[in-house]
Amino acid sequence: MEHKVIDVTIRDGGLVNDFDFSVEMVRSIYDGLNQAGIDYMEIGYKNSPKLLKGESSGPWRFLDDRFLRQVIEAKGATKLSCLVDIGRVDESDILPREESLLDLVRVACYIKDVPKAIELVNKFHQLGYETSINIMALSNVRDYELKEGLQLINESPVDLVYVVDSFGNLLNRDIEYYVEFFQKYVPQKTIGIHTHNNLQLAFSNTLVAMHKGTTFLDSSLFGMGRAAGNCPTELLFRVLNDAKYDLRPILKLLQEWMIPLREKVEWGYTVPYALTGMLNEHPRTAMALRNSEEKDEYLSYYDRLTSVETYNK
């Protein structure tokens, strides 16, 4: 079975370093991913700065087509994707696909916003883009809601639907369960998987999804991504057996860019992220802890997370 890998280093990794990537780095990553045979590179968000007041996170958060042409001087086989959030994208910013370097627009949404996501997808689809809906925080969605959302999605023109383990809470068995659930309720669509590494299960959960028939696999270099990070792109080479894939360019990117960056900013497995993963929570309190003087005070942090008083506040 053929798989497609989307490397999300710049997009999900940007949440770690406030999108502080040089043009040189992003260009070099594109070239390396292209040489490695990676199918897509998610090069940022295409939210609108007008709709994100008070946030100023550079060009990778607000991808502009003219700017993108300066970055990607020679487009190869690796396609480009971007992510948009519900309510943060200005549709008048979006060029038709033939005038853009972008190929795939992915819409991230919570289950309650599926109708809004479909509305966006309809517009992007009309403009010629490949489209995806990524349902976040799946581990907090009840099955009947998920079923209803997926049935709507199945009627829409969207190409891809993603299983997203936002909190890094899901075990292998849960991934099997959700992939089967999606296969049942969006039988017309191609399925993707996006994992987080809170419980060191990001790669494993991606493998489980692959074996269950998931086509699109999200990963990032050295697992760079918010909090505990993602499935590491380099590990996928343990199982990608198409002749086009080559690990060497990935190793070059890791040593040239990712390891020096990792020495400056933190992502990946730490105990506080494991705790939010176990408790099925957003990692924001753990991220705050890791940015504080108490970053390794696990016991008091755990007591706060699990105390009744905290819940009542």
Residues at the site binding a copy of itself, with contacts judged by CB under 8 A: 171-173, 197, 199-205, 207-208, 211, 222, 232, 234-235, 237-239, 247-248, 251-252, 254-255, 259, 269, 271, 274, 277-278, 296-299, 302-303
Characterize the bridge pairing of strands 130-135 and 4-7: unpaired
Residue closer to a copy of itself (CB basis): 125 or 212 = 212
Of residues 99 and 296, the one with the C-beta less far from a copy of itself = 296
Contact 168, 202 (CB under 8 A): yes
H-helix segments, the chain: 9-17, 23-36, 65-71, 114-126, 143-155, 172-185, 202-211, 233-236, 248-253, 259-262, 271-278, 284-290, 298-306, 308-312
Could you tell me the two tokens for 247? 């690990």
CB of 58 to a copy of itself, least distance (A): 27
Tell me the closest approach of the beta carbon of residue 28 to a copy of itself, in angstroms.
14
- Beta-bridge mates of residue 301: none
Pairing of strands 40-45, 216-219: unpaired
Q: In angstroms, give the least distance from the CB of 89 to a copy of itself.
A: 34
Residue identified by tokens 């383990």 is: 165
> C-beta of 94: minimal distance to a copy of itself in Å?
37
Query: Which C-beta is closer to a copy of itself: that of 56 or that of 255?
Result: 255
Q: How far is the CB of 237 from a copy of itself (least distance, A)?
A: 7
**Rounded Cα distance, 159 and 182, in Å:** 13
